[in-house]
Amino acid sequence: MTDLEDALRQTLTRAVPYAPRTSEALVTHVETRYRARRRARRALAVTVAAVVAATGATAVVVQNRTEPSGLTAERGAPSARASDHPPPLEEVWPQAVTRVPTHLPDGRRYRPVELLDDRTMLILSWDSDGRYALHTYDLDTRTARQLTPVAGQSPENLTTGEEHVAWWVIDGDRAAVWAAPLAGGAARKVTAFRGVPDRLAIARGKVYLSVTGGGLFAAPLTGGAAEPVSRAGQASLLDYPWVGTAARGFTDLLNLETGERDRAVVRTGETDVVCDSAYCVLSREGRWFVRRRDGSQERPMNQSALIQAPGMGRDVPFAGRVQVAMSATAGYSLIDLATGEAGDFGIRPGADGMLVIVGLVASGGLVSYELGVERVVIDLESIP
């Protein structure tokens, strides 16, 4: 096992207590919502892991949580030189980058959930007392309109579809699924059950949710009991209507509506294969690669450091070719593996030599982070 593989494994293990309750594998998922341009906007529940490969390599856990958190690399890392950094994100992909204040006008902090259209963003806010609310945010006027308060603990796996947003809240050994109309209005409890959910989707007037360890359930969006989806067996939700086994990296998928099966290409000598509905990430001979499920368009990944989220899966291949990388010398950058283009996050070590990233969030086709008094929002779908 290489030092990189060992560091990645350790990082994923350490990330488990901090990550949202998702599947056991390192995956990101897309849940088909619209048959239009914004189909990749669904909530992206990700375990985000960073591996710093430098002299005395250190694994750093990036917490993909509701509240922003600062993350650091070890002291003593080599100082970054200007030549180490790619051009700024705005210069490489000006159409994809938006800067917004880190706080709402009333002082509440927030994080982006997804873009509802080109100029409207769904956001989740919270105050100092831990009270949450969902809003729409106008990117032109920098103003927010509250949709609904969110009762209870931090909402997980915010997911949109059929003009609604849904989420779950964990309370002990029980979970409650809630939903609210995107047009505004009171949130309502859809269903409650005993168990730990790991994925959520809205389709055909129902909320579909899978639970840790396997098993898919459905409840009416209007409210009602969550009933097992028998044809799914013990599979987990990946990208409705696609289900598969999380422990096997979703290499084998079943379409619940058509009965179609899709088996990803896995070749001799390849390990740690993890797929979404379009792309797979895998290890071979000590190196990491990304390619389409059918084995085509294979590309090497940046080996020095990874914050890995393979593919978002859509008709026009895109996000599987994007990697967020971090190293002690070049800091954080977004890399387009297909073209080789890269954009710099603009994060530099502080006076104490510590490299800190605050509030890194991957959700609904967006990657965002805080930089000073601004939050930088990258719309992955707008990268050509």
- The per-residue pLDDT for range 250-281, each reduced to its tens digit, is 999 999 999 999 999 999 999 988 888 888 88
Q: Where are the alpha helices (DSSP H) in the chain?
A: 3-15, 89-92
**Average pLDDT score over residue span 122-129:** 94
pLDDT at 100 over 50: yes
pLDDT tens by residue, 103-123: 999 999 999 999 999 999 999
pLDDT at 81 over 70: no
Q: Which of 54-58, 128-132, 195-199, 230-234 has the lowest mean pLDDT?
A: 54-58
| Cα distances (angstroms) measured from residue 279 to each of 269, 272, 284, 299 | 18, 14, 16, 11
pLDDT for res 143: 95
pLDDT for res 355: 79
> Which of these, 105, 99, 101, 104, lies nearest to 124 by C-alpha position?
104
- pLDDT band for position 303 (cuts 50, 70, 90): low
Angle at 54 between CA 353 and CA 27, to 5 degrees: 105
> Which of these, 354, 327, 325, lies nearest to 342 by C-alpha position?
325
pLDDT for res 185: 92
**Average pLDDT score over residue span 191-214:** 91
pLDDT at 89 over 70: yes
**Average pLDDT score over residue span 86-104:** 95
pLDDT for res 107: 93
pLDDT for res 349: 80
Q: Any idea which residue has 């990430």 for tokens?
A: 281
Q: Please, are residues 375 and 368 in contact by the beta-carbon 8 Å criterion?
A: yes
pLDDT for res 4: 38
Q: Please, are residues 261 and 253 in contact by the beta-carbon 8 Å criterion?
A: yes
The whole-angstrom distance between residue 74's C-alpha and the CA centroid of its chain comes to 25
Class of domain 3-382: mainly beta
Take residue 249 and report the two structure tokens written for it: 């990296």
pLDDT for res 384: 81
- pLDDT band for position 168 (cuts 50, 70, 90): very high
pLDDT for res 299: 84
pTM of structure: 0.75
311: left (phi over 0), alpha (psi -120 to 50) or beta: left
pLDDT for res 195: 85
SS (H, E, C) 308-355: CCCCCCCCCCCHHHEEEEEECCCEEEEEECCCCCEEECCCCCCCCCCC
User: What is d(CA 100, CA 360) in angstroms, rounded to the nearest whole number?
Assistant: 14
pLDDT at 323 over 90: no
- pLDDT band for position 53 (cuts 50, 70, 90): very low
- Facing residues of 191 across strands? 177
Pairing of strands 356-363, 366-371: antiparallel
- pLDDT band for position 74 (cuts 50, 70, 90): very low
pLDDT tens by residue, 8-52: 343 333 333 333 333 222 222 222 222 222 333 322 222 222 222
pLDDT for res 125: 96
Other beta carbons within 10 Å of 9? 15
